């Protein structure tokens, strides 16, 4: 079965349209330093983090909220694991009691 084209085809430019020259404001640079996972045109950031100085109050508040959420999440996971271990032990005792 032939591949179906979902988009309409573009009109081809005439050769006279490509003959004009374009003056750039800045020199054209090669993009060899960019990685594939980055967006096109995004600068490559290397080295130390850019943040400097004291964090804002809003950032501190959000960080505290995130730490609280993670702590509660680990607590919930611990409770679930403890309950599962208790249920496993009780089921083992029940099976051994029913099948001597």
- Residue 87, token pair as written in the block: 């249920």
Return the pLDDT at 13: 63
Whether 70 shows a pLDDT value over 70: the answer reads: yes
Return the pLDDT at 10: 64
CA distances from 29 to 32, 34, 50 (A): 9, 11, 24
pTM: 0.42
| Distance from chain centroid for Cα 46 | 19
Return the pLDDT at 92: 94
Whether 58 shows a pLDDT value over 90: the answer reads: yes
Return the pLDDT at 52: 79
List, for residues 6-56, the tens digit of each pLDDT value.
Answer: 666 666 666 665 555 656 566 656 555 545 556 777 777 777 777 778 889
Tell me the pLDDT band of 68, cut-offs 50, 70 and 90. very high
Return the pLDDT at 89: 96
């Amino acid at each position: 079965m032939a591949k179906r084209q979902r988009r309409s085809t573009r009109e081809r430019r005439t050769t006279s349209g490509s003959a004009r020259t374009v003056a750039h404001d800045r020199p054209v640079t090669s993009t060899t330093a960019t990685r594939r996972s980055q967006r096109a045109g995004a600068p490559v950031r290397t080295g130390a983090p850019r943040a400097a100085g004291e964090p804002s109050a809003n950032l501190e508040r959000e960080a505290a909220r995130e730490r609280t959420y993670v702590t509660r999440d680990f607590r919930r996971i611990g409770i679930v694991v403890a309950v599962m271990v208790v249920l496993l032990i009780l089921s083992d005792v029940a099976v051994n009691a029913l099948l001597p």
